[in-house]
Every structure is written in C-alpha cells, then in structure tokens.
Amino acid sequence: MLITFIRAIILYIIVLVVMRLMGKREIGQLQPFELAISIMIADLASIPMTETGIPISNGIIPILGLLVMHLMISMINIKSMKAREVICGKPRILIYRGKIDESALKKERFTINELQERLRGNNVVNIGDVEYAILETSGQVTVIQKPNKRTVIPEDLNIMPDYEGITYDLVVDGKVMYDNLKALGKDYNWLKKQVSQFKINPEEALIVTLDAKGQIFCQAKGA
C-alpha cells in the first residue's frame, strides 16, 4: 500500500513537471498533437501507478520520450509554416461577410446548431450580427461582429482614456510580495505605513493591491 502511494506521488510529480514544460494552455486551446500527447501521458502514468509489479521506469521513460517529441514538434511548428499546416491544420472561415459558408461547415462537420452554440459562447445571440466567424486550429471559434453591432469603445467617441497600467499584489493571504515591492521601488516600511491607514499590519491583510493611479485596496483577514 505504501509502495503504491509513493509511486503515485513520484509519477504525479513527473507528469506535473512534464505538463509545465509543455507550456501554459487551457484544455480548449490545445492543438491536436498536444491533446494526443496529454492523453497518452495520462494513460502511461496510470499503469505503473497501480501495478506495483511493473517497474516505475516503464512509465517515466515513455513520458519523457513524449516530452521530447512534443518539444521537437513545437520547434518544427516554429520553423516551418508548411509543417505547421500539416500538423495543426489551418483556420477555416465559417461565416464570411455575414454569410454562412455551407461547404466550410460540411468540411469541418459542423452543424448549424453547433455554430449557434459557439456564437452564444462568444456572447452573440443573433447570427445576423456576425460579420466573420473563424474556426481556429484549436477548435475555438473567433467571432467578429458587424461594425454597427460591436461594443462602442472610447476611440469611437474620440475619447482618450487615462493610462491604466496593471495592478500589483502587495500582500496575498498575509504574505508580503517582496518581488512586487521591489519592482515598484518600495519597501516593507512603505507598505506598513500604507496599510496602517486601515488599522492593521500587512501580515493581517487578506489582500493589498496598488494600481497605476497609486490607489491602495486593502481587506483584512476575516473581514
């Protein structure tokens, strides 16, 4: 029982490291070759995890082999556009200038109902509002609405908004983010002074953030 537990931990760590090395993608954004490798890694890890009679190396070595294969394919995709088209495929336009391309739907084995479902997933309820719909190689559908149906942005009104920048976490669950303080040119004493306005110490905060305008947000633990 203990051996199975230890093997499971080892394989979990190996799979976690391999998946991290494969890059940061959501499941819905995986290319076909990435999804295939992910499924195979899961299958290879499950066998030696439960079967103590099988050497654990029988699972680790093929997993590392798949990682090497993944890295090689990724490099080929970067270097060659033709290889990328063969391995990953090409995006296909499903709606062109407001008109549904029936032949494209048939080639991708897409039904009208599936297309409508994907559009709703992009917050478009009326198919007549769509100028272009593109089926990406990851399987996701990118939607470009007709100009008169798009959300108004400040540029449309000749308005130039103030620069927003990003918000930095200074404290998360009572832990001071010293790297972020350093990036801002601040130190712990400055942070303590800012947080004292809320009558707490940094370690007592659930979260403290600083936005580009210099505004501090602070919430105490248990508040």
Q: Of the ranges 6-15, 68-77, 160-169, 209-218, which is most confident?
A: 209-218
Is 155 within the bounds of a domain?
Answer: no
Is 181 found in the same domain as 141? Answer: no
Q: Taking residues 146-160, what's their average pLDDT? A: 82
DSSP assignment of 27-81:
GGG--HHHHHHHHHHHHHHHHHHH-TTS-THHHHHHHHHHHHHHHHHHHHHHH-H
Is 186 found in the same domain as 201? Answer: yes
Residue 173: domain span: 168-220
Is 116 found in the same domain as 79? Answer: no
Is 157 within the bounds of a domain?
Answer: no
pLDDT of residue 204: 93
pLDDT of residue 158: 82
Is 159 within the bounds of a domain?
Answer: no
Q: Is 179 exposed, middle or buried (CB count within 10 Å of its CB: 0-12, 13-18, 19+)?
A: exposed
Q: Taking residues 155-170, what's their average pLDDT? A: 82
pLDDT at 140 over 90: no
Is 108 within the bounds of a domain?
Answer: yes
Is 160 within the bounds of a domain?
Answer: no
pLDDT at 202 over 90: yes
Our count of domains for the chain comes to 3
pLDDT at 74 over 80: yes
Is 120 found in the same domain as 97? Answer: yes
Q: Which of 48, 68, 86 is the last residue of a domain?
A: 86
Is 133 found in the same domain as 71? Answer: no
Tokens of 185: 């040119």
Q: Is 15 exposed, middle or buried (CB count within 10 Å of its CB: 0-12, 13-18, 19+)?
A: buried
pLDDT at 198 over 60: yes
For residue 131, the domain's CATH number is 3.30.240.20
25-34, 73-82, 123-132: least confidently modelled range = 25-34
55-69, 122-136, 207-221: least confidently modelled range = 55-69
Is 110 within the bounds of a domain?
Answer: yes
State what percent of residues in the chain have pLDDT above 70.
95
pLDDT of residue 89: 80
To the question of pTM greater than 0.85 for the whole model, the response is no
Is 70 found in the same domain as 9? Answer: yes
Is 156 within the bounds of a domain?
Answer: no
Is 195 within the bounds of a domain?
Answer: yes
Label residue 5 by pLDDT band (50, 70, 90).
confident
pLDDT at 138 over 90: no
**Count of alpha carbons within 13 Å of 174, Cβ hemisphere only?**
4
Label residue 23 by pLDDT band (50, 70, 90).
low
pLDDT of residue 86: 79
CB 113 within 8 A of CB 91: no
How far is 168 from 92, CA to CA, in rounded Å?
39
Is 81 found in the same domain as 18? Answer: yes
Is 184 found in the same domain as 209? Answer: yes
With a CB cutoff of 8 Å and minimum separation 6, the contacts of 65 are none
The per-residue pLDDT of the chain, averaged, comes to 85
